Amino acid sequence: MVELNPNSLVGAQQVTPVLLVIGTRPEAIKMLPVVRALRQVPEVDLKVVTTGQHRQMLDQVFAVFGEKPDIDLDLMTPGQTLGDITCRVLKEMEALIAEHNPGLVMVHGDTTSAMAAAMAAFYVRVPIGHVEAGLRSHDIQRPWPEEYNRISIDAMAELLWAPTSTAVLNLRAERPAKHDTTRHIEVTGNSGIDALLHVAKGLEGDELASIDVALDPSKKLVLVTGHRRESFGGGFGRICDALVEIAKRGDAQIVYPVHLNPQVKQVVEERLGNTSAIHLIPPVDYVQMVALMQAAHVVLTDSGGIQEEAPALGKPVLVMREVTERPEAVATGVAQIVGTNVDGIVAAATRLLSEPDHYERRARKVFPYGDGTAAQKIAASVAAFVKKAQNSKDQAR
């Protein structure tokens, strides 16, 4: 008996396998709205792949969006180096691509796992789609190694979904349109705003009750996050010194969910653990983080995602880095680069805590990264891409 291939039947729905790779929690936050949108595209057989990094935090984010990974590579090992991550992701993704024969591999942002997954696809000539393409600090060392990773992914990708027009200009500057006939670049906004608005809408008001910290309603909440490799060592020491000075004011309380990386956790706990106005807490889930941002008076961060999210909530942001690949938020006046200099951090925070007029000018809801429809735009782009690819195959037969 001859078995018929359903895809060879006239009028049958053509389906293309697509692998979407998620490594860290920030990637999950921004990719899960895209996952939900792609689940509704009939031409796509989506497989969500996790590398196994940030396992506990990943599980929390997946639960928020009612999703589960289809494939877990379980690559997380204690003390792994960037080289370890690159080699293991590259090897495992190579095998996965051979097994599933995808028509597209999708990655997000600038992590080493995203770069290695893209490289695995590139080596076997499978098209790559890059969510959040075109971000640049224009300093290869800052953030490190993220700036290299995103440049590398963009050089390999065929579909580039840029969050802003500035990101498009960065891509075009690196490869002018007249020399770039194979790539599709599209401004979609940032899918992180999709995730933020989804979660903020569902907050019920008691999300902070589950956080093990006694907040004083009479004091202004300063929310801090910090984890960048470029600040390991002296940078984190200076950040800690600045936070101690801010805590001495008496009218502010600092909440710092401490990243699990030992090079962050050890320094922060040693330097800040005995300061009464500073609350060091374990990493919080994404819903709790959004609730903390909403409750905050000001946010101090080196996180890229929070530089996008806090402005959408109307919260002033002090960026504890020397450069940023997100200049759009700085241009609005809501975000300010303060570096890791003690005096710079303290002076900027003091103005926001002490000068109501200055605070009101900075505490405005702005949306330089989109209106919450990025995931739908990306899904539509993927649908058009797989249809075009399938039509080309049909014509070649």
Closest C-alpha among 201, 121, 112 to residue 158: 121
Region label for 393, one of left (φ > 0), alpha (ψ between -120 and 50) or beta (otherwise):
alpha
Closest C-alpha among 256, 76, 47, 34 to residue 161: 34
Q: Which two tokens stand for residue 387?
A: 């249809």
User: Which residue among 88, 130, 150, 259 is the active-site one?
Assistant: 259
- Helices H, strands E: what count in the chain? 15, 13
Neighbours of 140 (CB within 10 A): 11
- Expressed in angstroms, the distance from the first to the final Cα of the chain is 24
Q: Which residues of 186-218 are buried (b: 16+ CB within 10 A; e: fewer)?
A: ebbbbbbbbbbbbbbeeeeeebbeebeeeeeee
Do you find a cis peptide bond into 145, omega within 30 degrees of 0? yes
Give the separation between CA 84 and CA 251, rounded to whole angstroms: 45
Please, which residues bridge with residue 113 across strands?
Answer: none
Q: Percentage helix, strand, coil, to 5, in the chain?
A: 50, 15, 35
Whether 259 is a known active-site residue: answer yes
Q: How far is CA 376 from the centre of its chain?
A: 18
Q: Which two tokens stand for residue 217?
A: 């309603």
Whether 227 is a known active-site residue: answer yes
User: Which residue among 27, 110, 147, 230 is the active-site one?
Assistant: 110
Q: DSSP code of 135?
A: -
User: Which residue among 92, 132, 147, 194 is the active-site one?
Assistant: 132
Instruction: Considering only CA atoms, give the Rg of the chain.
Output: 22
Give the separation between CA 171 and CA 106, rounded to whole angstroms: 18
Q: What are the start-end ranges of the H helices in the chain?
A: 25-38, 55-64, 82-100, 112-123, 146-156, 165-174, 191-202, 234-247, 262-272, 286-295, 304-312, 327-332, 342-354, 356-362, 374-396
Whether 147 is a known active-site residue: answer no
User: Which residue among 175, 183, 198, 229 is the active-site one?
Assistant: 229
Give the separation between CA 121 and CA 112, rounded to whole angstroms: 14
User: Which residue among 27, 43, 92, 146 is the active-site one?
Assistant: 146
User: Which residue among 25, 108, 130, 227 is the active-site one?
Assistant: 227
Whether 74 is a known active-site residue: answer no
Q: Which residues contact 343 (CB under 8 A, 6 or more apart)?
A: none
Catalytic residue set: 110, 132, 146, 227, 229, 259
